[in-house]
Structure 1
Amino acid sequence: MTLLFRWLLRLTAGLILLTVAALILVWFLASQSLPDYSQTVRTEGISAPVEIVRDNANVPHVLGATDTDVFFGLGYAHAQDRLWQMTMLRRTVQGRLSEVFGPRTVEVDKLLRRFDFYRLAQRSVEVQDDYTRAALTAYAAGVNARLTEINEEALGRGAPEMFLFNVPMAPWQPADSIAIIKLMAVQLSGHLESEVLRARVSLMLDDETRLSDILPDDPGSAIAALPEYASFFPDLPRYASTGERQDHPLSPFPKRGLAGASNAWTAAPTRSASGGTLLANDPHLGFTAPAIWYLARLELETGGVIGATIPGVPAIMSGRSEQLGWGLTSAYLDDQDVYVEKLNPDNPEEYLTPDGYKRFETRPSIIQIKDAQPITLTLRWTENGPVLPGTHYDLAGITPPGHVASLAWTALSAEDTSISASMALMRSGNVQEAIREAERFIAPAQNLSLADRETIGMKMIGAVPARSPQHATKGRLPTAGWRPENRWSGRAPYAANPQFVAPRGGILGNTNNKIVDRPFPNHVSYEWGDTQRVNRWRRLMQSREVHTRDSFIEAQLDPVSFTARSLLPLIGADLWFTGEAAPEGTPERRRQIALTLLAEWNGEMNEHLPEPLIYAAWLRALQKRLITDELGPLAAEFKHVEPLFIERVYKNIDGAAAWCDVRQSAPVETCTEMARLALDDALVWIGETYGTTLESLRWGDAHEATHDHPVLGEVPVLRYFVNIRQSTSGGDNTLLRGRTSGDDPDPFQNVHGAGYRGVYDFADPDSSVFVISTGQSGHFLSRHYDDLAQLWRRGEYIPMSLDIELARAASVGVTQLVPR
């Protein structure tokens, strides 16, 4: 017995030692790829020494003799800190994820290949101006210099993920940077899904007038009624398809409600306490670890520029120079149209055009798959655009037999000069010059907010499709691709894009709200990204005669929900303080406590309060009760509360209160009854999930920001090292926007928001500030992996200074790149 015990003890000790040794080995190999920021590197591709000074937040300040040398340095810095992220972005847009991850990403690759983004990017290289081509080439050389250094010095393959997924990284090419901008267009475009969803709902509803309730037009001038979708394609069944979505964690195609958002506002000197212009910008995208944004400063021949870059792209996308500041918000331009293409019944390789049947343009594309046989995909294009699979946003559910669906989209341009526009923007000296240079921007369409030292402006940039006034559906529903009036006729003139310069009131801003009210086809869009935040923004801007940098920061971080303030009095109108006191522990008593809390609440979505959770759960349960019997399985597509829908129902606009009655039941339910039942539903769910003591609830426990690693974030044990989770304030409709997932079992997780915040003050430019939501490094063993995350969560910023001596004073390292 003693001998057995001794051997068990020895085996246990041996296993512990082996485990510790393995962990030490893994740590050692992973740490080899941590970059050394204080070194001299001899390299080819530069004309003179390049200096990269990293300040105490690890923001690189890149200085060189020429602009091409500076872009070389930026490429080197990006590759030092975000090599894996750059690899993933490139592989995603190329449709080559399956070479790394095997069969589980094949469907994602198939879909990306059908759009042919990378081939379009390669063709777009030649249409850039000389300056941009030189910058793209120099940037690619900088990335490749880091790859060479990694290979020659055995630096752990450049990133710890490279050990787990041993796939060599090909040299960076100029087309790769253009392709990544096209990938951003994917993440910021949602009209394709909107068209398909509108068609599906149209097929599902018995009363077509109810379509304007659940998918309402944004407030503004009336729009002429559209015909039913079934009138275009009578062979379609009058019910919603229940085909399952092909969602994948690595798919760049956004879910509904997550197709990009942002805030930006500017103040002219007359509305600034300091007498200088002000600009604030916080673009919103899905959260990841690391963030999509990377802070950098470039010392160009025209002067220094500083702000947010995207790893893989050699441009400051949102930032400032000494003379000019610029910021971006999603324009929500309707730049996509879904076409239903009729196949030739005698030859399925042909489709109908205005000139008769024509063969598809086809090309084979081979997808290599790790641990599996490659597959050959046949890409098909029509004159309108690529043919898409029926699984994409359930296109099959709205496509009649004998037809296929194709897509027209401005991002599918082989002459995409968006990167040239971005490069010129960095060198612009004033608002008017920036507006002129931005004409070359194609996609994704953005509202460009601008401020120079004298004035402010905003211009919608991006190619606008030229549609016929006779378009059958005005771009709101899929339509017949063979009808000439439905097809695009080129690009609308840039001068027609909405523009605002030096407004009399001295304040400009955009929260993705409707910015113009023009009739079709000059309307920009029928669907916008915000009808709620803009109301709170207007109040904050008008509440002060003059603004400061700090008041702009206060607006960026404002957690008050206009939606809560406007909807709660409607849905609870007949419930507040009614009825007798109920015994402790009963559902009635919990309902009374909840209503009392909400009645005394000011709408602030503060992470430490219980009221935001009660409110959010109530509205979610209410919408579910209102739409489930009418929409059936299609109700699952409405994952977020639609404020205009709830408002229409409870104000009974055009008879919208009909949604309150459950058609399958004999009684006629009232909207008050539905509100009470939904509140009980919400309180039961809260009790099962967070406990029954309402006063001790915390919104932040449910509204946790999920900066998750896209690949390693679900790996047991490792996820605790690579994911960054934070309790946060804000919500779906607050200026401090924290868009919730809408997915069970954690529907209120904060998955989409401001990954970058910047506030620029041109009275004292070096007092400008910025921050990103994680850290500069993509290496989870680096102290710069998450060092900015807590600042971001607390609403704090770091200096946005072009003073190089300030950067040197507390630098974490200086890298010298010397010509070999």
Structure 2
Amino acid sequence: MKKLKKVLFVLLGLLLLTIIGVAIFLNSLKPDYGGKKTLPGISGEVTTYFDPYGIPHIYAKNEKDALKALGYVHAQDRLWQMELLRRVAKGRLAEVFGEDMVKTDKFFLSLGIDDHTKKTVSELDKDSEAIVLTQAYLDGINEFVKNGPTPIEFYLTGLEKEPFTIDDVYNAVGYMAFSFAMAHKTDPLLTSMRNKLGDDIIKDLAITSDTSTVWIKNYKGVKTDTLGTQITASVTAALENLPIPMLEGSNSWVLAPDKTKNGKVLFANDPHIGFAQPSVWYEAHISTPTYEKYGYHMAGIPFPLLGHDRNLAYGMTMFENDDIDFYYEETNPTDSTQYKTVEGWKNYEVVNKTIKVKDGKDVAFTYRKTHHGPILNNIADQITGDRPVAMSWIYTKPKNKVMHALHGISHAKNMEEFKSALPNIHAPGLNIMYGDAEGNVAWWASAQLYQMPDSLSTKFILDGASGKDEPLRYLDFSENPMAENPPWNYVYSANNQPDSISGMLYPGYYLPENRAKRIVQLLDAKNDWDKEAMSEMILDVTSPVNKEVINELIKLFDVTHLSGKQLVLLDSLKNWNGEYTLNSTSPVIYHRTLYQMVKNTMEDEMGPEMFKQFLSTHLFKRQIAWGAQMKEGEWWDNINTPNVVETREDIVMISFAQTWESLVKDFGDDPSQWTWDKVHTLEHQHPFGQVEWLRKYFNVGPFPIVGTREVINNLAFPYDETGFYKVNSGPSTRRIIDFSDIENSISILPTGQSGNPLSKHYKDQAEMYVNGEFRKMMMNKQEIEETAESVLIFY
């Protein structure tokens, strides 16, 4: 018995030592927010104050030292995120996650981002300030890579840390540019739909510009071809497993002094990006004797994409311009190595790539290119058929000056300097929003736009052989949409249709007017805006368009076929103001009925796969209000019931009945229990959170959350048969900058500043975000020193 006790004590001691050892090991992997560290190459001491939310406030004698310190602290909180982001364009995700990522790697390699980066970097002026500062930032990252603790994700994957290079910075920008584009999902699908269904039925889709919707106004003042479906499915499949988020949309509005209570500019911006953990933005405040900026950084990019100082503020939304075109190519029938051009037959360029696969053999693949771009047919297994389709993307065409643009806008001291940097952004297409302490407000659409032949619709796959479907000219930046100090005293963007450009409506994948209509409605209603009113507006969850849609549909209900409970619910719907609160039932009825109505209207013609792809496009969002107003047309008839011709009224009643049945099944027969909080939830997913036992350690949430698709507080979700709406994108930050009180401007992140699961700042803002709360973006040095949670000194 004594021996058994000794053995048990020994085992208990070993277990205790193991637990202590694991705890010590895990503690060693946390970011180090305090103390002193050497940082080779800096010219003087750099002091970094970490505020209560882990945001660094970096004070240095010069900007190069500050950028080096930024690189270090950014890496210690976000190295894993940086690692994933730089791997996308290089086709190196399968090296981490295995064979499931091979198709994704193939797709991104074929885009040519990495090849374009190599060409760009080879031509860089290494002595330009933008590149010198970029290298300083990289030096800081690499110091952490070399001497800092290894994040836990590297241990779990067995991945070795590698130094970062300037190629990685440009590849991160290239990924951002592609994730803004929508043509890769839409053009091939529309071509396939037209070929399968015909022009008569396609005309009832919301493809072209709608003259009745809210447009962003310009002001230049003083102050059965299935190939298309296969391409769309292939691209969707390649993107759906990405371990980093896609960029989706955004809101921004900037109010001139005449619209504000304090007579100073008010600035709001909430970029809509796919939710993930960690969240996209890393906040940092830099201050030197010659430069200061409170900025929002993407992983591995030195200059903030969103930022402000005491003189000016800037942000962005997606322009949604069409910057990708697809072309049918014609292969020489007697020589498969050639394709047809107006100059004659040319040789396909053959590109060979190799993908390393974790726990598997290397995968070699080959694809062809034309002067338009890569041929997609051989890149993904889903694409079959002999008719080659090439993808032409503006990002890989002109010389890449995007990094110089980001340096320029982050260092501008006034509106003219700021504007002068924007022509360097050729892609992605961005709405750049601006306001300053002098009272200027502006919006510029920045992108390299081009004019196509008048009768040509770039929403369909074009003819690559004839030469008739090529760009006629590139537009000068001065021809882009913009508004500078307009007489209505504000500028805004909600990814909606801009006004005419050089006498034409520029093709794009603009989102429906829902958010724009609400923004204009609220801004026009008052001229005494302040920070508090702006913070309420940025959280607005009312959809006037959804209210209009439901009112249109209610007219079609045959009340003689409704039960007493259904009549009560219908009356509730009539009185719904379009607001999405947690305890409301009308949103649940609306969305389930809407999904069933769209499915019952369109899936029979499209087929299940095409319908699934359609739901993933902006075109679907535009179709909702448009389709509800469509009184007649071939879409309403169900082709699977040949002896019956369904009408709009029939489809509405069938859809409502299906909704009622599904809700009774899910929640019981008491409609008061069918509340929004039960179906609309947000969970921030880490790549490792897909493993169930790791989920609670890496994911954040889930939380019931207000809002919906296409309201100002745009908490969006995909539609499917379940009728449960798992939010997958929304405001990646909410920022409100008040030039009457610049040091008390406010913001919030969706989860936290750190991407390290062991950091206390991994999710310390998550509940604040869900609750619609804000925190201060501190710029007052005395306040920063007095409230600092810790101080890290580099020497």
TM-score (ref. length: structure 1): 0.89
Label 1:413 to 1:71 Cα distance change in 2 as closer, same or farther (>3 A): farther
Q: Does 1:161 align with 2:139?
A: no
Tell me if structure 1 keeps the 8 A contact 2:592–2:723: no
Between the aligned partners of 2:552 and 2:13, the Cα distance in structure 1 is: 65
Q: Residue in 1 aligned with 2:237?
A: 247
Q: Residue in 1 aligned with 2:257?
A: 269
SS at match of 1:575: coil
Residue correspondence of structure 1 range 570-609 to structure 2 within 5 A:
570-575=552-557, 578-579=559-560, 588-609=563-584
What amino acid sits opposite 2:157 in the alignment? F
Label 1:391 to 1:630 Cα distance change in 2 as closer, same or farther (>3 A): farther
Residue correspondence of structure 1 range 355-374 to structure 2 within 5 A:
355-374=343-362
2:177 to 177, 185, 206: 185
Quick one: percent identity of the two aligned structures? 23
Q: CA RMSD of the aligned region, Å?
A: 2.9
Label 1:391 to 1:366 Cα distance change in 2 as closer, same or farther (>3 A): closer
Deviations 1:678-701 (A, max 9, x none): 111112222233333221232122
1:722 to 690, 698, 702: 698
Deviations 1:757-814 (A, max 9, x none): 1111111211211111110111112210000111111111111132122222121211
Alignment size in residue pairs:
775
1:133 to 131, 137, 157: 131
Between the aligned partners of 2:133 and 2:227, the Cα distance in structure 1 is: 54
What amino acid sits opposite 2:629 in the alignment? K
Between the aligned partners of 2:381 and 2:600, the Cα distance in structure 1 is: 24
SS at match of 2:615: coil
Between the aligned partners of 1:697 and 1:120, the Cα distance in structure 2 is: 52
Q: Residue in 1 aligned with 2:407?
A: 423
Deviations 1:513-557 (A, max 9, x none): 11113478x533243123211111111111112211222222210
Deviations 1:585-620 (A, max 9, x none): xxx344324313312321101122222111111111
SS at match of 1:333: coil
2:296 to 308, 333, 336: 308
Q: Residue in 2 aligned with 1:505?
A: 488
SS at match of 2:535: helix
Label 1:773 to 1:17 Cα distance change in 2 as closer, same or farther (>3 A): farther
What amino acid sits opposite 2:396 in the alignment? L
Tell me if structure 2 keeps the 8 A contact 1:559–1:605: yes
Between the aligned partners of 2:20 and 2:451, the Cα distance in structure 1 is: 63
Q: After superposing the two structures, state which structure 1 stretch, 133-142 or 297-306, moved more.
A: 297-306
SS at match of 2:201: helix
2:433 to 426, 430, 449: 449
Tell me if structure 2 keeps the 8 A contact 1:340–1:481: yes
Label 1:379 to 1:670 Cα distance change in 2 as closer, same or farther (>3 A): closer
Q: After superposing the two structures, state which structure 1 stretch, 430-439 or 738-747, moved more.
A: 738-747
Q: After superposing the two structures, state which structure 1 stretch, 295-304 or 365-374, moved more.
A: 295-304
What amino acid sits opposite 1:652 in the alignment? M
Between the aligned partners of 1:393 and 1:416, the Cα distance in structure 2 is: 31
Residue correspondence of structure 1 range 138-149 to structure 2 within 5 A:
138-149=136-147
Between the aligned partners of 1:429 and 1:680, the Cα distance in structure 2 is: 60
Q: Residue in 2 aligned with 1:761?
A: 738
1:406 to 377, 381, 390: 390
SS at match of 1:781: coil
Q: After superposing the two structures, state which structure 1 stretch, 661-670 or 726-735, moved more.
A: 661-670
1:652 to 618, 626, 630: 630
Alpha-carbon offset, residue 178 of structure 1? 1.4
1:741 to 715, 718, 733: 718
Between the aligned partners of 1:564 and 1:146, the Cα distance in structure 2 is: 50
Label 1:514 to 1:136 Cα distance change in 2 as closer, same or farther (>3 A): same
Tell me if structure 1 keeps the 8 A contact 2:282–2:298: yes
Q: Residue in 2 aligned with 1:228?
A: none
Residue correspondence of structure 1 range 84-163 to structure 2 within 5 A:
84-125=80-121, 126-127=123-124, 130-150=128-148, 155=149, 157=150, 159-163=151-155
Tell me if structure 2 keeps the 8 A contact 1:706–1:726: yes
Tell me if structure 1 keeps the 8 A contact 2:705–2:770: yes
SS at match of 1:536: helix
Between the aligned partners of 1:743 and 1:367, the Cα distance in structure 2 is: 33
TM-score (ref. length: structure 2): 0.91
Alpha-carbon offset, residue 10 of structure 1? 13
Alpha-carbon offset, residue 44 of structure 1? 1.2
Between the aligned partners of 1:113 and 1:554, the Cα distance in structure 2 is: 43
SS at match of 2:92: coil
What amino acid sits opposite 2:205 in the alignment? I
Between the aligned partners of 1:598 and 1:24, the Cα distance in structure 2 is: 59
Deviations 1:238-270 (A, max 9, x none): 996699546257645999xx7610000011111
Q: After superposing the two structures, state which structure 1 stretch, 62-71 or 213-222, moved more.
A: 213-222
Alpha-carbon offset, residue 53 of structure 1? 1.2
Q: Does 1:549 align with 2:531?
A: yes
SS at match of 1:260: strand
Tell me if structure 1 keeps the 8 A contact 2:29–2:758: no
Alpha-carbon offset, residue 419 of structure 1? 1.4
Deviations 1:138-179 (A, max 9, x none): 0110001111222xxxx3x2x111111112121011121111
Between the aligned partners of 1:425 and 1:242, the Cα distance in structure 2 is: 37
Q: Residue in 2 aligned with 1:232?
A: none
Q: Residue in 2 aligned with 1:686?
A: 663
What amino acid sits opposite 1:268 in the alignment? A
Label 1:177 to 1:259 Cα distance change in 2 as closer, same or farther (>3 A): closer
SS at match of 1:387: coil
Alpha-carbon offset, residue 362 of structure 1? 2.7
What amino acid sits opposite 2:589 in the alignment? I
Deviations 1:337-370 (A, max 9, x none): 0111111222222211211111122332221222
**Structure 1 portions without partners, runs of 5+:** 223-234, 583-587
Label 1:489 to 1:76 Cα distance change in 2 as closer, same or farther (>3 A): farther
What amino acid sits opposite 2:109 in the alignment? R
Tell me if structure 2 keeps the 8 A contact 1:590–1:683: no
Deviations 1:412-456 (A, max 9, x none): 247211111111111112222211111111221100010012210
Residue correspondence of structure 1 range 326-475 to structure 2 within 5 A:
326-389=314-377, 396=384, 401=386, 403-413=387-397, 415-453=399-437, 454-464=439-449, 466-469=450-453, 473-475=456-458
